[in-house]
Amino acid sequence: MNILVLNGSPKREKSDVMHITRAFLDGMRDAGEQNIAEIHVIDRHIEPCTGCFACMHNGGTCIHDDDMRAILEQILDSDLLLFSFPLYCYGMPAPLKGLIDRILPLSSMAMQKVGDHYRHVGQRDFSRLHYLMISGCGFPNSMHNFEAAVLQFSLLFPHGRTIVTVPESPMFSAPEAEPVTAPRLALVREAGRQYAKTFAIDEALLQQICSPMIPDDVYTAIVNGGVKPN
Ligand SMILES: Cc1cc2nc3c(=O)[nH]c(=O)nc-3n(C[C@H](O)[C@H](O)[C@H](O)COP(=O)(O)O)c2cc1C
């Protein structure tokens, strides 16, 4: 399948979260051939949306002639959008949010009621798209941490969406933490294999992946300079 990875970490390849994303993609490749394109969002010229709504009235052309024009076509050619990002202030990093704002040209101004709420009617066909969020964070657990980002992603992409959140993610960039990160990345790779076949991850596996790798007090002590991992 065509996979577009949107790496929202300003650390590019050195991103903690990209360790998780790469393991997931390895699993997808285990299951079959994949056509993977990767964008480091920080490197692209993406002007902020001005809120003029021109794109929603004129058939979908933004007033900005920047990298987003090509990215929108890449999105429409994809089967899967994989958003890989660190949690920043309980949400996604600003450049990635800026890119998502600029997806507006795919929608028209027309609104429709869906159940008890409203959504815009699309003006391009993106019904084949699936959406995957892989996010990591620096705190030792996910409580009072990932909720806003998960809700935002769920509202943005109500259908065909899967969400993976991993606490303690700076450990993925620490070679001394490999005894605990390697088994976790093996689980992530298994999740990638499953996802490539079904666009879903077994709930029990997902819960394992999203749980802390080491007890929160141990992690906190390490971060605070008290203890080194074995
Ligand atoms: C500006 C900023 C805001 C952050 N906000 C949070 C946060 O709200 N919750 C959290 O657990 N970690 C937070 N972190 C920590 C990062 O999520 C964490 O270091 C992550 O592993 C970085 O991933 P990356 O290397 O892929 O960019 C923040 C880091 C920065 C730089």
- What are the DSSP calls for 174-195, one per residue? -GGGHHHHHHHHHHHHHHHHHH
pLDDT at 142: 87
Residue 220, pLDDT > 70, answer yes
Name the residue at shortest CA distance from atom 19 of ligand 1.
138
- Whether the model clears a pTM of 0.85, i.e. scores above it, the answer is yes
pLDDT digits (tens, 9 = 90+) for 53-76: 999 989 899 999 999 999 999 999
CA distances to 90, 200, 203 from 118, in Å: 25, 27, 30
pLDDT of residue 229: 47
Q: Is the CB of 143 under 6 A from ligand 1?
A: no
Whether 114 lines ligand 1, by a CB cut-off of 6 Å, is no
Q: Report, as an integer, the average pLDDT of 18-45.
A: 98
The atom of ligand 1 lying closest to the CA of 87 is: 17
What is the dotted CATH code of the domain comprising 2-223? 3.40.50.360
Predicted confidence (pLDDT) per residue in 104-160, tens digit:
999 999 999 999 999 999 999 999 999 999 999 999 988 999 999 999 999 999 999
Name which residue sits closest to atom 15 of ligand 1, judged by CA: 138
- Domain limits of the chain? 2-223
Tokens of 114: 């869906």
- Tokens 């019904």 identify what position? 127
